[in-house]
A and B are shown apart, each in its own frame.
Chain A
């Protein structure tokens, strides 16, 4: 081992430490941005070192141009994607970036496997190597296609509802068993390349098969879980390549992603098993109940709604995904300013899973310069609804659905915002349909509830005008 080899290990160590600190800093608001930059710095260090130093020698190697061209393409694509994406579409973007990482891990596994089975024709490969390679390939491939499906569901390209067909769980189980059987064959009988490719293809299908039956409302959990998977795939690749930077980073993300996933499911009062296999919102009674509820909805005029708020003492705004898609956060802030100027106490009630990702609403409202201290978490504000004049619900649905308090609903047990305790409930809603989870919402037919139909942005803008004139 020469000096450069030793330095390589030290670079991995430094990078590993920056990644740990990055995650640690990201967990606190005051240090989060610094943490992200620190992680990026560690990444630049390890990437640059890997480019210039290989096998204990300086020199970029014969294929350096290949790496540069691919790196430039990837950097431009990643940069543009990250810079151009609307803040409302962030969850999808994270899914795509995660899928890219999973795909890269699977590709590395394929190339490594092919090379090693060519180097040792007719021989069994070392067991640890095969296991790590197979893990990298299967988990990376599942993460790739799973993320693409999650992207499609969040973006509205694929039906958000759970997509199931008769026997789909059997197909999933069969695919899984086939993949395991092929894996055992590759490790114990013969490292055949065509069979390995079949293994990868089946893993890709498995990823689709696992995510399709999950409803769109659960995609944040799925993205978080797949993020953790990619971490594990990267860790496996780290073992294959004896690269400790990959091993540390991958394990860290695998472990922290698992915890984060657990925190999210806990916020919804559900188990991960329930999210993955229960097929949220498939209830057959949905349509009938929805049709029945429709007739009882009462509409309110913009003027009446504006007056209720302008002359109230306290207004709590409950934002949801509808605000995000309509990009209504600017007008919402304007509405808040006007109401505050009139002496109304305005707060925002943020449900842990409002929007498509935890923290989604906080980011959007922060973008519109709504001060932090007006954003209240559910536990903090839930007791205040009882002496609130108006609860203004902007495109939120499942998180205010009182059906969650009763047995027998797909969202039973999920903690919700107690908006039904407010004196008046005004719901801004795009259409008359059920929410993302496809569950009818009895709140809308509550006698205190009035509806203002339409896209959230023009609706809120109209309310702003209304409050000015009130």
Chain B
């Protein structure tokens, strides 16, 4: 896996700019949304499943196959569980028939 200097520098730019966006986006959040936000962010890093899929696709040794297989399982749990549980939390906020 050779990374060219250009690729590394591009990655560095993305890293720094994305970090600023991450800081900025959540700076003013009401307390009641902390848990759903954490849970939603948790689902977003489930994108690691893409990485697991990439290594699974090219895995050739039995060990690599097993590890990549586990990686895809864990990554999918992270994604699916993360988004579904966040939706469940938010569903409850929404359900609010007529105030008294």
Contacts and interface: CB of A to CB of B under 8 A. Distances in A.
Contact of A242 (B7, B32, B70): B7
Most buried by B among A19, A129, A254, A357: A19
Contact of B19 (A108, A255, A373): A255
Contact of B38 (A19, A37, A129, A257): A257
A107 B3 contact: no
A260 B81 CA distance: 21
B29 A101 contact: no
Task: Indicate the size class of the contact surface on chain B.
Answer: 35 or more
Interface stretch (A111-119, A297-305, A310-318): A111-119
Contacts of B3: 126, 128-129, 239, 242
B83 to A, nearest CB: 4
11 contacts: A27-B25, A29-B32, A47-B79, A79-B81, A94-B35, A108-B51, A111-B68, A230-B48, A260-B26, A260-B38, A372-B96
Interface string B47-80: 1111111111111010111011111111111111
A400 to B, nearest CB: 17
B68 A87 contact: no
A346 to B, nearest CB: 10
Interface in B10-65: 11, 14-15, 18-23, 25-59, 61, 63-65
Interface of A: 15-16, 19-20, 22-24, 26-29, 32-33, 35-37, 39-40, 43, 46-47, 50-51, 54, 60-64, 66-67, 69-71, 73-75, 77-79, 81-83, 85, 87, 90-91, 93-94, 96-98, 100-101, 103-105, 107-108, 110-112, 114-116, 118, 125-126, 128-129, 223-224, 227, 230-231, 233-235, 237-260, 263-264, 267, 337, 340, 350, 352, 357-360, 362-363, 366-367, 369, 371-373, 375, 377
Most buried by A among B20, B49, B69: B49
B96 A369 contact: yes
Is the contact region of chain B dominated by helix, strand, or loop, or is it mixed? Answer: helix
Contact of B32 (A93, A101, A115, A350): A350
Q: Which 3 A-B pairs have the closest CB atoms?
A: A74-B76, A255-B22, A78-B81
A254 B19 contact: yes
A101 B78 contact: yes
A32 B36 contact: yes
Given A107-B52, A359-B32, A54 B57 contact: yes
Contacts of B81: 77-79, 81-82, 93, 96-97, 100
Contacts of B20: 255
Nearest to A23: B25
B22 A377 contact: no
